[in-house]
Structure 1
Amino acid sequence: MPDPTTLANSVQTGECRLHELTDIDDVDADTAAAARRLIVEEQADIALDAVSDYGFPAAEATANIENMIGTIDIPIGVAGPVIVNGGALTGKRYLPLATTEGALLASVNRGCTVLSAAGGAVARVMKSGMSRAPVFRVDNVVTAKALVEWVRDNIDSLRDAAEETTNHGELESVTPYAVGRSVYLRFRYDTKDAMGMNMATIATEAACEVVEKETDAELIALSGNLCTDKKPAAINAVEGRGRTVTADVTIPRETVVDRLHTTPSAVAELNTRKNLIGSAKAGSLGFNAHVANVVAAMFIATGQDEAQVVEGANAITTAEVRENDLYMSVSIASLEVGTVGGGTTLPAQAEALDMLGIRGGGTPPGSNADGLAECIATGALAGELSLLSALASRNLSTAHADLGRE
């Protein structure tokens, strides 16, 4: 077997490229990673000691990354336990959060404690569906209208073609949008426990072949940005993408006063002036305090696609006084999560999903991914409750200072 130094030399002399190292006979993924580290260390004049210290065979990550040189450790902590009263998951759970932001875990943990004291958060997935929206070119508005009508009349043919590519995905709908000579078809799929982006892409490609064969439309791109993936988009806020999930709680007034050192009316007013009016004035798509914090931390911990935090932060927080008590909710419109495939198969991320009791495919299919969405929504609610209360009691900066944060 060639050693890392020999392999590094072969790259530097132009005999092969970084990504071709594992194509060489008898070269395993760990040896290839070591060779790449040698190249980077020499070029940057550094030592990659920490990056090289990883706890699983590099071959286990070949589906997750290319040109691997090692891993980066991110601290992971837990908040809770918190009582989750979900449609797919119930009971006490520790929520795994991976982050480098000091005070985040402490804040979410405080919120979890208050949620549990109030009987826990109630969480429900309102709808689910992964979308992919190809764009076609047509001759004019007349042919655009004809394509729209053809799609509506031939949904069964599109469904047959799409579902032929997958054992689990189901085509739920195809919604056409015409803009001049461009026609966008927003395909929406039930992807069960998979996040489903790859599944939706492959299935949509098969359906597009039917469109091109049976009409005069020409496919320009498999993604026309009306999906919308990894970008802020009003269509996701309205129509949803992935899981649309809501969590709420009613907290007795005395609990708010004793544990959060504020009042229901103060939290409700702050939420209106900050999260609703302030966000509206800013033109924000998310009307919340920091939902992205919990979404990002739980995405990293459980092996989700971290770029989709952009859509996961598409959330609205509400707060109101009900019979002197505090009612709060967090509604996340487009939470794209899965418990099979992708980063969920990596060892640490699999353990985090085991912590929640939802790794792999659920029974019935889709229930584990629903459970993960409910846990994330519960964590987001805990984070919103804690931060808004800290702001309402004017002790946010004090809390950070007490935890030694700069």
Structure 2
Amino acid sequence: MATTSRLSGLRNLDASERRAALAEALGRDEEFLAPFVDAGLSGEQAERMIENVIGQIAIPVGLATNFIVNGREVLVPMATEEPSVVAAASNIARMARPLGGITTTTSAPLMQAQIQLLDVADPHGARARILEAAAEIIDLANEQDPKLVEIGGGARELRVRIVPNTTGGVHVIVHLVVDVADAMGANAVNTMAEAIAPRLAEVAGGRQLLRILTNLADLRLVRARLAIEPEMLGGPDVVADMVTGAQLAVDDPYRAATHNKGIMNGISAVVLATGNDTRAVEAGAHSYAARDGRYRALSRFERAADGILVATLELPMAVGLVGGATKSHPTARAAVETTEVRTAAELGEIICAVGLAQNVAAVRALAAEGIQRGHMGLHARNVAVGAGATADEIDAVATALVADGRVRADVAEQVLAQLREQR
């Protein structure tokens, strides 16, 4: 396991030196990090993953440091194109270390498939009949995936909902609850849903229509909590403003959308790096944020009695270690190895911890110096590159842009031209 995630000075190293530092911290040979060097995906491998392949797109993978999750030192790969995300999450993780880092918990890996039943004459009677036949139907579902059952997973429960149809009538919706173990679970639950749908339609006296999982994985939740001393954040006034600012995201959906986007900056970066389904996780998070009929913040900020900031986050987390790109993409495999996780639940907890750290970083920036100060300093480098700056010109152009206060492409081109004239 990692001896420490506190890799100070990492930003001053080049990429090869960072890989060496990572391998040393993990006590591993650098060879397992090879997929990070050239994106790790051959044309042949890409052809097998999706249809009509014409190439690949590379996304930078950064290393989030300083994380302690449930008492364990963790180094976390993050795939993102957005500047400041990796640095911000790492900085908050550093601030959380003195009070024990980030604590997480997770529920069982339960996913749900929905089977839509139509033309049911007696919806409530059909609900009763389906629940009476639940044992038979669950057995039929488990026959579809004996391997999952063998390792302790499988179908667990049937639930029946009668959902009003806004155009008239009702939908009878059956939820099949499945323990998917270390998988994300889409293929398993979809296969089961299709197998049991004809029998459900027969019992209900109607016809089947949709048979597919729901990404509102509200039975598969992960939670994270951190505490930070006020002095680390800038003092009691900053903490008070952070709590007040975060409350706006609970009360106002316009603020909540951006607040939650900040959470997903951290979460989606780790989900993508590990080859999991970013769209499924994002859909689950945003639908969970609106579960009471109003879109709200996923996190909560409070001041403890002693003035310490306490931030918490809860959301669905449907990620896996088996199947999909997690196994087929070499870089994703290397990313999972970097986290040193053994179960999908542990991976989900780390992802949630990163999301919370990123969220605290954004709220702190808003409550203190403003979001643009740190973000634009890093963004200026991208603007410099876009203006045509070479490796030995980027820092000078970026510094000039930040000093000028106008981090724009046209200004970067002017600065670059002036720099070259002076040479």
TM category, shorter:
0.7 to 0.9
Aligned pair in 2 of structure 1 residues 404, 67: CA closer, same or farther (>3 Å)? closer
Counterpart position of 2:214: 228
Aligned-pair identity (%): 23
Aligned equivalent of 2:299: 317
* Structure-to-structure mapping, 1:371-382, within 5 angstroms: 371-382=346-357
Distance 1:184 1:221 in 2: 9
3-state SS of the aligned residue for 2:49?
A: coil
Alignment of 1:193 onto 2:167: no
TM-score between both structures, scaled by the size of structure 2: 0.71
Distance 1:55 1:356, change over 3 A: closer
From the superposition, tell whether residues 137 and 283 of structure 1 become closer, same or farther in structure 2 (CA, over 3 Å): farther
User: Which amino acid in structure 1 is aligned with residue 214 of structure 2?
Assistant: T
Amino acid at match of 1:373: G
Q: In 2, Cα distance between the equivalents of 1:286 and 1:187? A: 33
Superposed, which structure 2 residues align to 1:1-400 within 5 Å? Answer: 55-61=40-46, 64-85=49-70, 90-140=71-121, 142=122, 144-166=123-145, 167-168=147-148, 169-178=153-162, 179=164, 180-223=169-212, 227-229=213-215, 236=216, 240=218, 243-257=220-234, 263-273=238-248, 275-279=249-253, 282=254, 288=260, 290-308=262-280, 309-313=282-286, 314=288, 316-322=298-304, 323-332=306-315, 334-345=316-327, 346-358=329-341, 362=342, 368-400=343-375
Is the alpha carbon distance of 1:263 and 1:54 closer, same or farther for their aligned partners in structure 2, counting shifts above 3 Å?
closer
- State the distance in 1 between where 2:108 and 2:256 align: 23
1:54 deviation in Å? 6.5
Looking at structure 2, the residues matched to 404 and 163 of structure 1 have their Cα atoms a distance apart, in angstroms, of: 51
Matching residue of 1:5: none
Q: Provide the aligned length of Structure 1 versus Structure 2.
A: 322
Describe the superposition over 1:69-96 as per-residue Cα deviations: whole angstroms up to 9, x where unpaired.
Answer: 33211110011130001xxxx5111111
CA separation in 2, counterparts of 1:246 and 1:297?
Answer: 18
Q: Is the 8 A contact 1:63 1:342 kept in 2?
A: no
Of stretches 151-160 and 392-401 in structure 1, the one that deviates more from structure 2 is 392-401
Task: Check the 8 A contact 2:41/2:331 in 1, yes or no.
Answer: no
Alpha-carbon offset, residue 278 of structure 1:
2.3
TM-superposed deviation, 1:172: 2.3
Q: After alignment, is 174-183 or 195-204 more displaced?
A: 174-183
Alpha-carbon distance, 1:400 to partner: 2.0
Measure how far apart 1:63 and its partner are.
Answer: 5.2
Q: Which moved more, 1:340-349 or 1:298-307?
A: 298-307
Seen in structure 2, the aligned counterparts of structure 1 residues 211 and 117 have a Cα distance that, compared at 3 Å, is same
* Structure 1 residues 277-301: Cα deviation after superposition (integer angstroms, max 9, x where no partner): 223xx49689746111112111110
| Runs of 5+ consecutive residues of structure 1 not aligned to the other structure | 1-52, 230-235, 363-367
Specify whether residues 218 and 321 from structure 1 end up closer, same or farther in structure 2 by C-alpha distance, changes over 3 A only: same
Q: TM-score, normalised by structure 1?
A: 0.73
Separation (CA, whole Å) in 1 of partners of 2:261 and 2:51: 36
1:45 maps to none
Check conservation: 1:295, 1:312, Cα contact below 8 A.
Answer: no
Gaps of 5+ in 2: 1-37, 290-297, 381-406, 408-423
Name whichever of 380-389 and 177-186 sits farther off.
177-186
The 3-state SS of whatever aligns with 1:403 is helix
More divergent stretch after superposition (170-179 vs 310-319): 310-319
Supply the distance in 1 between the matched residues of 2:204 and 2:372 (Cα, whole angstroms): 62
Structure 1 residue 62: Cα displacement: 5.3
Distance 1:294 1:217 in 2: 45
Q: Is the 8 A contact 1:82 1:92 kept in 2?
A: yes
Give the helix-richer structure, 1 or 2: 2
RMSD across aligned C-alpha pairs, in angstroms? 2.4
3-state secondary structure, aligned to 2:352:
helix
Separation in structure 2 between the aligned mates of residue 127 and residue 336 of structure 1, nearest angstrom: 11
Give the drift of 1:60: 3.7
**Deviations for 1:118-176, whole angstroms, at most 9, x for unmatched residues?**
31100000343111111111343x2x122100111111111101111112141122221
Deviation at 1:271, TM superposition (A): 1.0
